Amino acid sequence: MMRKLDFIVTLRDAEGLHHFDAKKMTDTVFRHIHRCLVEGKEVRIEGVGKIELKYTKPHKQINNFTGLYVKVPSKVKLKLKVFPTINNELQKLVEEDDEETHR
């Protein structure tokens, strides 16, 4: 798992920044991503992928306990579509792991 602090430490060490400055920069980037998503904009991060909003329609669903229909309101979900380069690297890791498992 990678946490916000990990981003800060990586930025600090890679760029030789003070911790406070790296934290400020990281906060600014995350705040901007947050603001863009709240405004309904797609966020595209080169080398990683794009974060987009997915809207579900309101619908009816059967309650398993009562057997009656209940209304399910519309929802907004975040969806991450990773770029093919990451998918390819992950697929290679899975294939390598499969080969080691079957030896």
Residue 103 banded pLDDT, cuts 50, 70, 90: low
- Dump pLDDT digits (tens) for 2-52: 999 999 999 999 999 999 999 999 999 999 999 999 999 999 999 899 999
The angle at the Cα of 83, spanning 82 to 87, to the nearest 5 degrees, equals 80
Q: Is the pLDDT of residue 102 over 70?
A: no
Listed in sequence order, the residues at least 6 apart from 61 whose beta carbon sits closer than 8 Å to its beta carbon are 69, 70, 72
Q: Is the pLDDT of residue 59 over 70?
A: yes
Q: Identify the H or E element spanning 64.
A: none
Structure tokens at 59: 């619908």
What is the average pLDDT value for the chain, to the nearest integer? Answer: 92
Q: What does pTM read for this prediction?
A: 0.72
